[in-house]
Amino acid sequence: MIRALSAALLAFAFLNVIAAAPAYARKHHHGTHAVAHNETTSPATRQAQRIARASRRAVARDAQGMADVGNGPRQAQIIGGRPAGCPHQYCGCGTSLKIFGRIRPELNLASNWLRKFPRTAAAPNMAAARAGHVMLLLEHVGGDKWKVWDSNSGGGLTRIHVRSIRGFAVVNPHATSTAAL
């Protein structure tokens, strides 16, 4: 009886080990595969892969968060990732590139938009800025909701999407001699 019980317990333990082995192998294979893969791909390819993964996650997240805003559903259009030459936190850099056609290093810091440009009413082609973030207003949707060009809008992506401008100051980046520099 004891031998039969021991044999049954041993068989049960063996089956549990075999059943767990594929999950263990998958988990650990993924980690080693990622290391081997990263050693053979170029930095540009890895960045493109990161952007593609972030884009897929963002599309899924945006699809889950669809909500009626103004005249229609909230839909995000993903434009891309961080532009070449922009710092890691690139909302100011990406917005200056969109508005002025070039990177203006003094505008990389979002709070500099508040210092350099005069306040104005919300309107298309104006910038909504606060300490830590800046975005370009494209089209009024309703209330405080605007369709915006939003560099570094999350997940390392630039999007055109609907966003509230509550808490932002609106500035005119086309006014004054600062805009011409």
The per-residue pLDDT for range 46-98, each reduced to its tens digit, is: 777 777 776 666 655 554 444 333 344 457 888 888 888 888 888 999 999 99
Domain containing residue 140: 41-180
Residue at 63 is within a domain? yes
Residue at 35 is within a domain? no
User: Residue 16: what pLDDT?
Assistant: 54
- CA pair distance 1, 39, nearest whole angstrom: 56
Residue at 15 is within a domain? no
What average pLDDT score do residues 132-144 get? 95
- Do residues 17 and 46 make contact, with C-beta atoms less than 8 angstroms apart? no
- Do residues 153 and 159 make contact, with C-beta atoms less than 8 angstroms apart? yes
Confidence class of residue 8 from pLDDT cuts 50, 70 and 90? low
User: Residue 87: what pLDDT?
Assistant: 86
What average pLDDT score do residues 32-45 get? 61
**Phi, then psi, of 137 in degrees rounded to 5:** -80, 130
User: Residue 93: what pLDDT?
Assistant: 92
Task: Name the residue among 124, 165, 139 with its Cα closest to residue 75.
Answer: 139
User: Residue 84: what pLDDT?
Assistant: 86
Residue at 150 is within a domain? yes
Residue at 10 is within a domain? no
CA–CA distance from 64 to each of 68, 76, 162 (Å)? 12, 12, 15
- Do residues 154 and 58 make contact, with C-beta atoms less than 8 angstroms apart? yes
- Identify which has the larger pLDDT, 180 or 155: 155
Whole-model pTM? 0.59
User: Residue 35: what pLDDT?
Assistant: 45
* 1 pLDDT above the threshold of 80: no
- CA pair distance 157, 139, nearest whole angstrom: 20
* 130 pLDDT above the threshold of 70: yes
Residue at 123 is within a domain? yes
Residue 53 makes CB contacts below 8 A (sequence gap 6+) with: none
What average pLDDT score do residues 33-45 get? 62
- Residue 59 DSSP symbol: H
- CA pair distance 138, 46, nearest whole angstrom: 32
User: Residue 3: what pLDDT?
Assistant: 57
- CA pair distance 51, 53, nearest whole angstrom: 5
Residue at 24 is within a domain? no
Tally of domains within the chain: 1
What average pLDDT score do residues 91-113 get? 92
Residue 163 makes CB contacts below 8 A (sequence gap 6+) with: 135, 145, 146, 148, 150, 153
Residue 145 burial by Cβ neighbours in a 10 Å radius (0-12, 13-18, 19+): middle
CATH number at residue 90: 3.90.1720
Residue at 11 is within a domain? no
What average pLDDT score do residues 127-148 get? 95
* 156 pLDDT above the threshold of 50: yes
